[in-house]
Amino acid sequence: MSSPRIGFVGIGLMGTAMVLRLREQGFPVTVWNREPERLPAVVEQGAVAAASPAAVAAASDMVLLCVLHADAVRDVVFGPDGIAAAAPAGGLLVDLSTADPAATREMVERLAREAGPDWVDAPVSGGPPAAREGRLTIMAGGAAAAFARAEPALRAIGGNITHLGPVGAGQVAKVLNQATVGTGYVLMAEALALAEAAGIDAAMLPDALAGGHADSALLRRIYPQMQRRAFDPPGGYARQLLKDLEAVRRFAEEHGLSLPVVEAARRRFADHVAEGQGMSDSASVIRLYRPDPPR
């Protein structure tokens, strides 16, 4: 059986990594990005550039999206030359972006009224290295039949894939993921700052705490990255994590909740971005507490 033809809209850090992985797994991929200068990295590996999101949809059995936020999703789906203009009824759209759950449901309802493609929301976590190695964590929402159609492409890029329920369920899980990640980055920065100020060998801390209650992927991956000040090239932008934390705050407010720990982390990232670090790696938030050591 031949692999489905994949369309991919959004060739940023994550999109590039996912397209390269899909190509390595044998999928034909047609791509579009608002900034065309990002396309050569994937075209050189066999992806085919298209002139618009509509052209991507016309050339594909399913279209995957990975763009900045819900407004960007809405634009590439419903805007001029958008996916909705060319994707047929019975087609499939898989949104890998991090977007607002309510906005996702509203767009799905609009697409259904227009007899457009089925929709699976499947936000991802793990960063570009995990995408390149096919081990992303993917949280999916959508009808069971639509998820089953999306699964071959998701299996190519993901190692832990969970179908959580109807459309929007994946985005709800991603909100919770980003609340954990955003507060975790700030916690790792504060733990490292205290370790360095106290004069211990800060690099030893993850091994020293391994197996205890403090052990975590953040302690094993993000803390050492901060300790080494290994921020280039960025694996994810601070401005993006700030955007995600702002989305967590809005989601909590919609449900009548105040989340003071998440709000404190949001303020820390807002301070960091205000200092001109928006395009720096999210782990560079340690710079709010400690300067980079001399090289």
User: What span, in angstroms and rounded, lies between the C-alpha atoms of 258 and 184?
Assistant: 18
Under 8 Å between Cβ of 30 and 51:
no
User: What span, in angstroms and rounded, lies between the C-alpha atoms of 30 and 43?
Assistant: 9
Under 8 Å between Cβ of 104 and 74:
no
Closest to 9 measured CA to CA, from 91, 87, 64: 64
Question: Given 74, 149, 174, 266, which residue is catalytic?
Answer: 174
Tell me the three state secondary structure of residue 185: helix
User: What span, in angstroms and rounded, lies between the C-alpha atoms of 288 and 187?
Assistant: 12
Closest to 191 measured CA to CA, from 213, 229, 224: 224
User: What span, in angstroms and rounded, lies between the C-alpha atoms of 281 and 233?
Assistant: 8
243 catalytic per annotation? no
Residues noted as catalytic: 174
